[in-house]
Amino acid sequence: NGLILWVVKSESSLHQPMYYFLSMLAVTDLGLSASTLPTMLTIYMMGVREVALDMCLAQLFFIHTFSIMESSVLLTMAFDRFVAISSPLRYGTILTNPRIARLGLAIVVRSIGLHIPAPIMLKKLPYCRKRQLSHSYCLHPDVMKLACTDTHINSAYGLFVVLSTLGVDSVLIVLSYGLILHTVLSIASKTERLKALNTCVSHICSVLLFYTPMIGLSMIHRFGKWASPCSRVLLSYLHFLTPPVLNPVVYTIKTKQIRLRILRIFQSGGASIGDIQGH
């Protein structure tokens, strides 16, 4: 993720909307990975299996905030693909740099604003003497279950945040791809149709990597009393650790401009881009 950010920043030819959104995705992946590290490192490297409440609340705030940010970025990337396919001649005038900056600011404000109340509400709850978390990092549903009082308000707020962010984002992404498919099918040439769809493959992979384990984890936490603890832990790791690992791999493989510039960084001697393309 850091390499992608460096490549996009250093190559002026990549200063385009698509790569700005890819940079946003890399930043959210870095933030999500960094948010899980404090407790995971202390558990697996130092053997410390306790965490202070304030640190736990701060961690769950950042984990959920970056998770919502990633969902929002995936939505903006779906909009980017729709504009690029449906209005290619107006692409540069629709997605201008100021507009992209405003989209980025809206993503940050939305994600932070919706999650500020969660740790404040959890802080006010009384907790039982036995406080064992299910995961190696703090999550809102997991911490909420440790309280020794009624948590229906907290649960309702958490469900509201999930539905108003991840739920709405996923519906809008599906709608965007419905419009993209409608536009692609109106293209006469089969070659052009495949070329247009090929530009969406990386984004579709990222959406599936992010939403599939997240939906499963949310359903198990709220309705899966029968589910084994191992399934919850596995889905949690898949949701929070797999996308940051695989997103940059997928985009590096599928995006020629990024791939060539990364190869140029690691090439030995003075090989030219022509040589790299030959290989």
Specify the CATH number for the domain of residue 35. 1.20.1070.10
**273 occurs within a structural domain:** no
Percent of the chain with pLDDT strictly greater than 90: 43
Out of 32-46, 212-226, 227-241, the most confident range is: 32-46
Domain for residue 274, yes or no?
A: no
Residue 152: domain span: 1-266
Tally of domains within the chain: 1
- Indicate whether 277 belongs to any domain: no
Q: Report the predicted TM-score, pTM, of the whole model to 2 decimal places.
A: 0.88
227: left (phi over 0), alpha (psi -120 to 50) or beta: beta
Confirm whether 257 is domain-assigned. yes
CB-neighbour burial class of residue 148 (10 A; exposed 0-12, middle 13-18, buried 19+): exposed
For residues 137 and 155, what is the distance between their CA atoms, to the nearest angstrom? Answer: 19
48, burial (CB in 10 Å: exposed 0-12, middle 13-18, buried 19+): exposed
Evaluate whether residue 272 is within a structural domain.
no
Residue 127: strand pairing partners:
147
76, pLDDT greater than 60? yes
Give the pLDDT of residue 238: 85
In a domain, 25, yes or no: yes
Q: Is the pLDDT of residue 279 over 70?
A: no
Give the helix ranges, DSSP H, for 87-151. Answer: 91-94, 97-115, 117-123, 140-144
The predicted model gives 195-220 an average pLDDT of 84
Average pLDDT, the chain: 86
Q: Please tell me the number of Cα atoms within 13 Å of 83 on its side-chain side.
A: 15
